[in-house]
Amino acid sequence: MNILVVGSLNMDLVSHVPHLPKAGETITSTSFQTIPGGKGANQAVAAARLGAKVQMIGKVGRDAYGEILLERMAAAGVDTTGIGQEDTTGMALIQVSDSGENHIVLVPGANQRVHTGDVDRYQEMLEACDILLAQLEIPLEVVEYAVKCAHQKGKTVVLNPAPAQKLSADILQHVDTLTPNETELEILTGMPVETLPQIEAAVQALLVQGPRCIIVTMGEKGALVVHGGGVMHLPAYEVQAVDTTAAGDAFTAAYAVARGRGKTDEAAARFASKVAAIVVTRHGAQPSLPTMEEVEAAL
């Protein structure tokens, strides 16, 4: 089973803090780390560690961070042939509180240099993949182009709409599965998402625009799986969260891997919930992503 990820690569600059600062507040970090991240890279590494064959199209900078990211991706088993080097490497400035909550500021860098020509250059990767996995940390026109190309070739398209922005029906009609969290769902639809009925109503409004399935990740409230066959609420696994940074990425990647292995949407989402539950008990983005052996042993 082959997965092609078209997306971002960042170096995460992580400060651990007692609590997330309020506007105008200065606080002291208890520790600092540089950790490979980026939603695209996180999802590629997550899928590779779960046993999928993964290729990626994206860009890093011509700098030390870029070299480190390429080395780490290759070490995780991701084919980096489609990752170019240009400009400076993207960064994410992350604050993680003692309670596991986070604030993230993105510095796009080379991620903004990904263009449709890169997708054209690696058409053989699109031909070879079973699933295209995409996010929104690279230019939207590139995501739209990759999604349409994959859909036209009969590939399964999984889109994690993060960081959230309005999406046209033109792109949504080429998506098989959309995986927003609650905040992203609210931005996508402009509808309230305070309660489960409100979330379901927002999902239904989005579903008619094209996606075959929508899975809303809701943290400790679990996940909501909605498609033409019905609605299922999956409760979250009870764990002690220390860092939620890559939980959504792990969920989306694990879902794609399970779907690629023939699981139903519900079964794939249940497996993804298990993987995400492990991730939030560990610090860091890519360092927190488990192997299939770790998932089986832990659960």
Q: What is the pLDDT of residues 13-25, one digit of tens each?
A: 989 999 999 999 9
Q: Residue 281 falls within a domain, yes or no?
A: yes
What sign results for the dihedral spanned by CA atoms 214, 215, 218, 221?
Answer: positive
Which of the residues 118, 176, 249, 265 is marked catalytic?
249
12 is in an annotated binding site: yes
Residue 21 within any structural domain of the chain: no
Does 260 belong to an annotated binding site? no
Going by pLDDT thresholds of 50, 70 and 90, the confidence category of residue 284 is: confident
pLDDT band at 264 (very low <50, low <70, confident <90, very high): very high
Residue 97 included in any domain: no
For residue 53, tell me if it sits in a domain.
Answer: yes
- 49 annotated to bind ligand: no
Residue 165 lies in a domain: yes
**299: confidence class by pLDDT, cuts 50, 70, 90:** low
**pTM for this prediction:** 0.92
Using DSSP's 3-state secondary structure scheme, residue 84 falls into strand
Q: What does the pLDDT look like over 147-190, one tens digit per residue?
A: 999 999 999 999 999 999 999 988 999 999 999 999 999 999 99
Q: Is residue 68 part of a domain?
A: no
CA distances, 30 to each of 15, 16, 93, 97, 286 (Å): 7, 6, 15, 10, 21
Q: What is the mean pLDDT of the chain?
A: 94
User: Has 249 been annotated as catalytic?
Assistant: yes
Domain presence at residue 140 = yes
Looking up residue 253, the CATH number of its domain turns out to be: 3.40.1190.20
137 is in an annotated binding site: yes
Listed in sequence order, the DSSP H helices in the chain are: 39-49, 64-75, 116-121, 123-128, 140-152, 169-172, 182-189, 196-207, 247-260, 265-279, 292-298
Residue 230 placed within a domain: yes
Please state the domain count of the chain. 1
Q: Which helix (H) or strand (E) covers residue 60, if one does? A: strand 53-60
Q: Is 22 annotated as a binding residue?
A: no
Task: Give the C-alpha separation, 46 to 274, whole Å.
Answer: 13
Domain holding 250, by residue range, is: 2-7+39-57+114-298
